[in-house]
Amino acid sequence: MENKKKKAAPRQNQIVKIRRKVLKSGETTLFLDIYYQGKRYYEFLNLRLVKGSTKINRDHNANVELLAENIRSKRQLEISSGDYDFMPAFKKTIPLTDYFEKQMEKRKDSESNYQNWQSTLKHLQAFESGNIMLSQVNENWLGEWHSYLKTTKTKNEKKLSKNTIFSYYNKVVACLKQAFKEKLTNFNPAQASIGVKSEDSKREYLTAEEVQKLINTECDDPQLKRAFLFSCLTGLRWSDIEKLKWSEVREDMIMFQQKKTGGIEYLPVSEQALYFLGERKDEKERVFHLTYSAWNNVKLREWAMAAGIKKKVTFHVARHTMATMSLTNGADIYTVGKLLGHRHIKTTQIYTKVIDSKKREAVDSLPKFKL
């Protein structure tokens, strides 16, 4: 019996497939799903199948399918041959905005700054209407991106703040760094570009006396009042307080997953803080029934004004208040950072400048003597 050689199947680490994604318009976009050397890449083909069963539409879709298959076969041949010392073609055709959006989606569930990535993407799409490819981005392009951010304006015709520019610029830098790490580019242009620096933003906070005034003053929304004061004593972010459930409250401790970082935190809670939680309910029920809106900040400011506080009070002020009160009363910076869930000590060090200013106020308040 004659031995027949079996046709060798593509190796599992070198596979190219056509994928489809239905758009809101009803059209279907085609792209390549490329599995190469243990990693997955996508090549967007800018090919679409249209809706409808007319002959014109059927002919159009047949031609699109054929073209997509030809591109797929070409990419498979490039990979299977392994005979190149340059970047494969499919890596050169990855649009920057598409890759940025992919990186953005990775942060959807674990970081509260997902909206910041979305804002960056909108500006990136407005700036890069030509849809530049990852492989084309260089330090000159980064310089132009920085210039765009410095000159662009908001809906209120105001320029972006220095810290907003810093944030948007570095989102793109992080994206390029990841692309280089995944070997989608030959070099990281951010290494050769001039870095963008941020500026220290003012950390508004309340003194212990001002917190007491709020405790003594009625608020139109009692739940908002309890949640704010609870944050003043624990440093919890709005995103973590809003989703806090009774099952996460363990006597004098809270065990929860930070929405921003995704990390599991064990936070000791004082008796005074527990007081603001109210009566214990079902384990699955949320402790505070709150819905975020601009209305909340309006109510907070009205409450603060009623208490005789003229500062611009937002919910995040409560977190700053906990940090400054702890440091003022002798807590070490490392412990405060852990309580706030900071990953890096430099984030907590921002509050030491506030404490230094309080020391200056104390020195300046000493009696004045005739010398």
- Report whether 28 contacts 21 (CB < 8 A): yes
Tell me the pLDDT band of 135, cut-offs 50, 70 and 90: confident
Residues 326 and 215 both lie in one domain: yes
* The two three-digit tokens of residue 310, written as one number: 């003229």
pLDDT (mean) for 43-55: 88
Regarding beta strands 28-36 and 249-250, do their DSSP bridges make them parallel or antiparallel, or are they unpaired?
Answer: unpaired
Residues 354 and 234 both lie in one domain: yes
pLDDT (mean) for 153-160: 76
**115 in a structural domain:** yes
362 or 230: which leads in pLDDT: 230
Residues 216 and 351 both lie in one domain: yes
Name the phi and psi angles at 253, rounded to 5: -145, 150
**2 in a structural domain:** no
pLDDT (mean) for 334-340: 77
Residues 160 and 225 both lie in one domain: no
- What proportion of the chain, given as a percentage, has pLDDT over 90? 19
**142 in a structural domain:** yes
Number of H helices, E strands in the chain: 14, 6
- What proportion of the chain, given as a percentage, has pLDDT over 70? 78
Residues 253 and 357 both lie in one domain: yes
Residues 250 and 326 both lie in one domain: yes
- Report whether 41 contacts 184 (CB < 8 A): yes
Taking the CA atoms of residue 277, residue 280, residue 285 and residue 290 in that order, the dihedral angle to the nearest 10 degrees is -30
pLDDT of 197 higher than 70: no
> What is the number of structural domains in the chain?
3
Name the phi and psi angles at 34, rounded to 5: -110, 120
Which of 92, 120, 149 is the last residue in one of the domains? Answer: 92
346 or 180: which leads in pLDDT: 180
Residues 258 and 154 both lie in one domain: no
* The two three-digit tokens of residue 296, written as one number: 């909340």
pLDDT (mean) for 235-239: 86
Top-confidence range, 100-114, 193-207, 350-364: 100-114
CA nearest 302: which of 226, 369, 217?
A: 217
Which of 161, 191, 221 is the last residue in one of the domains? Answer: 191
Integer Cα distance of 143 and 147 in angstroms: 6
Which of 191, 219, 250 is the last residue in one of the domains? Answer: 191
Integer Cα distance of 194 and 202 in angstroms: 26
pLDDT of 107 higher than 90: no
**370 in a structural domain:** no
pLDDT digits 0-9 by tens, 2-37: 444 444 444 455 688 999 998 888 899 999 888 877
Give the CATH number of the domain where residue 321 resides.
1.10.443.10
**197 in a structural domain:** no
pLDDT digits 0-9 by tens, 116-134: 888 899 999 888 765 788 8
Q: Which domain holds residue 52?
A: 14-92
pLDDT digits 0-9 by tens, 50-96: 988 899 999 999 999 999 999 888 888 877 765 444 456 666 678 88
pLDDT of 183 higher than 50: yes
pLDDT digits 0-9 by tens, 270-298: 889 889 998 889 989 999 988 766 778 88
pLDDT digits 0-9 by tens, 223-233: 999 999 999 99
To the question of pTM greater than 0.85 for the whole model, the response is no
Question: 270-300 in b/e burial notation, b at 16+ Cβ within 10 A?
Answer: eeebbebbeeeeeeeeebbebeeeeebbebb
